[in-house]
Amino acid sequence: MKRFANGATIEETIDRRNRRGARPAWARVAAVAALALLTVGGASPASAAPTVLTTIPVGGSPWGVAFSPDGTTAYVTNRSGDSVNVINVATNAVVGSPILVGDFPLGVAFSPLVAKAYVANGIADTVSVIDVTTEIVTTIPLFGDFPFGVAFTPDGSKAYVTLQSDNAVRVINGVTDAPGITISVGDAPRGVAFTPDGSKAYVVNNNAGTVTVIDALMDTVITTITVGIGNAPEAVAFTPDGATAYVTNSGGNTVSVIDVASNSVMVPPIAVGTIPLGVAISPDGTTAYVTNSVDGEVSVIRVVDNMVLGSPIMVGAGPVGVAFAPDGTKAYVVDGGVGQGGSVSVIATGSVPARAMPPTGFDVSGTLLFATALTLLGVAVVASRRLRVIRSR
């Protein structure tokens, strides 16, 4: 009898075809699914509780944070310092001097196409473009009224920047940095994000209590989703499979969950802390982190059933932006602070970087031949005719 590290057991052989007749294929599929649940279920000790590792001092009144695509650095915007701090993710320390950008920097995003970071400067009405290799800054001037959020398509061909006071989104060419057309959206747009396949963008309209859905290929509005007048939606993030979007409602102390296929809001919303602002989804799609700015904490939502897990994670004062490192092992929470102070809380998420897994195999009759499941020790390849672990690494 095999015994796994979490105490679960499974018989070396459960195929009783010679004594009871062959099991149908669906039964063997169910057995393998049960094995997967035993080895990767929520109670598994492989996933430790999220904990704050350290706190990194940054500039004044920080707001936004983004990780570079390779996960080696994170950029944090400082509103009162008109600057960006660069953090070495391996050491959790600020490196170099602050990079000066425009007045009142808010959103920040990295291009997946070129080594550049783009910063929306709210009061300057500009977008700063930082060459991450040289730290040379160029400026896209007269961009629009109060740029707030910025996001790139997955292929890096374009970026959307929300213009809070223009009730619009401006398009940037991801190759030439040339400003493109302006797309009208709702009242006071702030957060913006693209679906993982790049086909749509969701823009949250703070004063309108709505989310504008844009066809990202044609740069045209598809529809408008109402999350509630007075809810003051702030930020939006998608699950990695693109099926679901999470929207923070700073006026409702909730998170709205949107089914992307139907553009419909699931009810009821998820109750979190006081004035939730930022939201990020873990790279493995299992959890959503939500910053509750008044409470100085982060709520963790389990994506599979939209349940808030355990007690909130206590961070610094006034948390706003949040982002996961690409490997999912860390989350950076921007503590906006009080007055001119600010920091970044580094959370060890307890996640293990995902491994590539071979496919499940069937023979021509549709009978399951083998499947894979994550175990506490690695990846197990399971044979169905004799349901046993034949390789674990």
The pLDDT of 347-364, averaged and rounded, is 52
Q: Give the domain extent around 33.
A: 2-46+354-392
Q: Residue 15: count other Cβ atoms within 10 Å of its Cβ.
A: 18
The residue type found at 346 is V
Q: Are 176 and 315 contained in the same domain?
A: yes
Q: Are 121 and 264 contained in the same domain?
A: yes
- Residue 30, pLDDT above cutoff 80: no
Tokens of 26: 């669906």
> pLDDT tens for residues 236-292?
999 999 999 999 999 999 999 999 999 999 999 999 999 999 999 999 999 999 999
> pLDDT tens for residues 166-194?
999 999 999 999 999 999 999 999 999 99
| Residues 253, 146: Cα–Cα separation, whole Å | 25
Q: What is the pLDDT of residue 227?
A: 96
Tokens of 110: 């990295």
> Domain total for the chain?
2
Q: What is the pLDDT of residue 84?
A: 98
The pLDDT of 15-36, averaged and rounded, is 38
> pLDDT tens for residues 75-89?
999 999 899 999 999
Domain CATH for 230 = 2.130.10.10
Q: Are 201 and 84 contained in the same domain?
A: yes
Q: Are 195 and 95 contained in the same domain?
A: yes
| Cα distances (Å, whole numbers) of residue 17 to 22, 28, 34, 200, 385 | 4, 12, 20, 50, 9
Q: Are 234 and 313 contained in the same domain?
A: yes
When comparing pLDDT for 165 and 36, which is higher? Answer: 165
Sign of CA dihedral 5, 241, 231, 160: positive
Tokens of 67: 């990780």
- Residue 387, pLDDT above cutoff 80: no
DSSP state, 7? S
Q: Are 19 and 55 contained in the same domain?
A: no
Q: Are 236 and 380 contained in the same domain?
A: no
> pLDDT tens for residues 310-339?
999 999 999 999 999 999 999 999 999 766
> pLDDT tens for residues 286-307?
999 999 999 999 999 999 999 9
Q: Are 105 and 199 contained in the same domain?
A: yes
| Residues 331, 312: Cα–Cα separation, whole Å | 14
Over the chain, what is the mean pLDDT? 83
The pLDDT of 52-77, averaged and rounded, is 97
Q: Are 140 and 208 contained in the same domain?
A: yes
Q: Are 367 and 262 contained in the same domain?
A: no
The pLDDT of 97-122, averaged and rounded, is 97
Q: Give Cβ neighbours of residue 176 (< 8 Å, ≥ 6 apart).
A: none
Q: Are 133 and 184 contained in the same domain?
A: yes
Q: Are 211 and 327 contained in the same domain?
A: yes
Lowest mean pLDDT among 50-59, 238-247, 366-375: 366-375
Q: In what order do the strands lie in the sheet containing 210-215?
A: 189-194, 200-205, 210-215, 220-226
Beta bridge partners of 276: 292
Q: What is the pLDDT of residue 341?
A: 72
DSSP state, 275? S
Q: Are 293 and 276 in contact (CB under 8 A)?
A: yes
Q: Give Cβ neighbours of residue 37 (< 8 Å, ≥ 6 apart).
A: none
